[in-house]
Structure 1
Amino acid sequence: MSQRFRTSRHALTAAVATAALTLTLAACGSDSGSDSDSGSGSGQHSGHSPAMPGMPGMGGAEAGNGLGAAKGGYRMDPVTAAALPAGKATGYRFTVAGPDRRPVTDFAVDQTKRMHFYAIRSDLTGFQHLHPTMAGDGTWTAPLDALRPGTWRLYASFTPDSGSGKGKGLVLSRTVEVNGTATATPLPKASATATVDGYTVTVKGAPMAGMAHQLTATVTKDGKPVTDLQPYLDTYAHLTAFHRGDMAFAHLHPETEVDGDHGGPSLTFHAEFPDSGDWRLFLQFRTAGRLHTAALTLNVG
């Protein structure tokens, strides 16, 4: 066998081996990508933790930042006029259209409700967390309390219970104008504590944008730990956050298990903030049958 032939044969063998290795690596990469995109608990970005088990409507990365009227083939369509009256209660009516463009009527129960609805003004004041009622044709009505003049964003948080989006938590939103002259309220500086109705809430944690972190909220009254928190929406506290500027939405998942009417003083939350900067947090908790809402500003690195 000539030296030239042996050299050519070795080169061909090496080329075949390289090609086989390349195909193997490509197949492995394809399988990995498929796995990361499958399942309702997967986040859309690498590095995100999956949604908390048993909470289908609370998927952080999957739900998105709530700034779009449409996502995943679903769309929030207003029935109410674009402008709302100021200073009096009003009903905001809307539908959620599915991929077939028909109103969706089949929703999963998430924290005892099929729909969670939030309203907040562009300066992050006037927070309202409501639970609309749905008519047989898929039209939802959210009973808004009196609104101050200005631009408001209205969020619908839900989980379809059928169709292509079954089991996937979504947050959609639209802006509305409330008639009248608007006066902006400056956002309070970042602070670890807030006081409401005689209760003091202290939040500990150093969250970073795009990463999963744990936040701990402690409730005290007159300097003493509060241990009589009552269940509210299957948890001892409900925590929602909005980003300064673009009003991105974040729902922080409660981790503390409910066990009767003696919750507190410390409550833990699984937190994933999509962006850095200041976030306005609204912590809702119940004592003696009364719902309290504490608000504070948290800076996310």
Structure 2
Amino acid sequence: MSTSSRPTVRRRPLAAAGTAAALALTLAACGSSNNDSSSMPGMDHGVKSSASAKASPSMGDMPGMDHMAAGNGLSDTKDGYRLTGEGATLAAGKAAAYRFTVTGPDGKPVTDFAVDQTERMHFYAIRSDLTGFQHIHPTMANDGTWRANLSSLASGSWRMFTSFTPDSGADKGTAFVLSRTVTVPGSETKTALPAAAKSAEVDGYTVTVKGEPMAGMAHPMAVTVTKGGKPVTDLQPYLDTYAHLTAFHEGDTAFAHLHPTTEVDGGHGGPDLSFNAELPTSGNWRLFLQFQTGGKLHTAALTLKVG
């Protein structure tokens, strides 16, 4: 299915008054017509690198616009759209394929999706203790069945998020985020959430967050990337931005997605990336920042406390 002529994804108005450009909250809408995956195998509360990913052009909207209208992603239904998954359990300790379908208000599988951040579907997996983060771009069969190839999963309760934008019908161009829980049988060992911190390290890089977001309020936030104490200026575009930032709320795993407002200028990103952040509830949020250098994708994780 060709995606070269997909229109710009439309966003619903942001609830916070006076906010012209708010953060992207709740899963990015889109998908993929190929098997380009950016999962983080077994991502724990530490940080690991992942395989490289392509950075092809998309019809995505202006950096910094939000997905907040899609909700917090904690339901499998919204406005007539429903996420159905194949089975409620997945085997522990080995790679697995999670198959799912999105049906529309007419009850039929949706097969027409708009492109956002170079993809037609973004898929996220996170365990209840906010470990095991995986971000995948699944593939879709002609009948509307999607396949997300998950890396090894630890025992416990997992939430599978799907982020998409219909490209036809009454809700054409509107971002949605739906999710379902999956159980991975076995003895579950929960990992305590690391304390709130302003920086994290991954693959020799140091990521530092600046700013104090307040719950339910749009607030500027910045991320600085350094290596060996020196500013990094060779960030490459990844999903049409210089950084892909997702956040999960401690306790309920509510999802938030923040986009940088920094303009993309080839492979010359960094060291500073600006965000418009609006996290809906107070408490601890686990942030996963993905950025690319030299064709390699890096994922840094840190805990941010929101007042």
Shared fold per TM-score greater than 0.5 = yes
Aligned twin of 1:196: 202
Alignment gaps of 5+ in structure 1: 1-38
Q: Which residue of 184, 187, 195 corresponds with 1:181? A: 187
Aligned length: 262
Conserved 8 A contact 1:55-1:110: no
Conserved 8 A contact 2:72-2:256: yes
Q: Which residue of 48, 54, 57 corresponds with 2:61? A: 54
| Residues 252-291 of structure 1 mapped to structure 2, 5 A cutoff | 252-291=258-297
User: What is the TM-score normalised by the length of structure 2?
Assistant: 0.82
Aligned twin of 1:162: 168
Q: Deviations over 1:136-191 (max 9, x none)?
A: 01000001001000000000011111112111111110100012111000000000
Aligned twin of 1:296: 302
**Aligned to 1:217, what secondary structure does the other structure show?**
strand
Asked whether 1:43 is paired with 2:49, we answer no
| Residues 122-141 of structure 1 mapped to structure 2, 5 A cutoff | 122-141=128-147
Conserved 8 A contact 1:42-1:51: no
| Residues 100-139 of structure 1 mapped to structure 2, 5 A cutoff | 100-139=106-145
| Matches of 2:136 and 2:260, distance apart in 1 | 18
| Matches of 2:107 and 2:290, distance apart in 1 | 35
Conserved 8 A contact 1:201-1:220: yes
Aligned twin of 1:145: 151
Alignment gaps of 5+ in structure 2: 1-9, 24-59
Structure whose residues are more often helix by fraction:
1
1:226 Cα offset (Å): 0.5
Q: Which residue of 77, 92, 108 corresponds with 1:70? A: 77
| Matches of 2:105 and 2:64, distance apart in 1 | 18
Q: Deviations over 1:69-89 (max 9, x none)?
A: 1112111111x2210001111
Conserved 8 A contact 2:214-2:279: yes
Asked whether 1:209 is paired with 2:237, we answer no
1:215 Cα offset (Å): 1.3
Cα distance change of structure 1 residues 45 and 257 upon mapping to structure 2, 3 Å threshold = closer
Larger Rg: 1
**Aligned to 1:84, what secondary structure does the other structure show?**
coil
RMSD after superposition: 1.8
| Matches of 1:297 and 1:142, distance apart in 2 | 27
User: What is the TM-score normalised by the length of structure 1?
Assistant: 0.83
Cα distance change of structure 1 residues 76 and 175 upon mapping to structure 2, 3 Å threshold = same
| Matches of 1:139 and 1:219, distance apart in 2 | 38
Cα distance change of structure 1 residues 249 and 49 upon mapping to structure 2, 3 Å threshold = farther
Q: Which residue of 85, 94, 104 corresponds with 1:88? A: 94
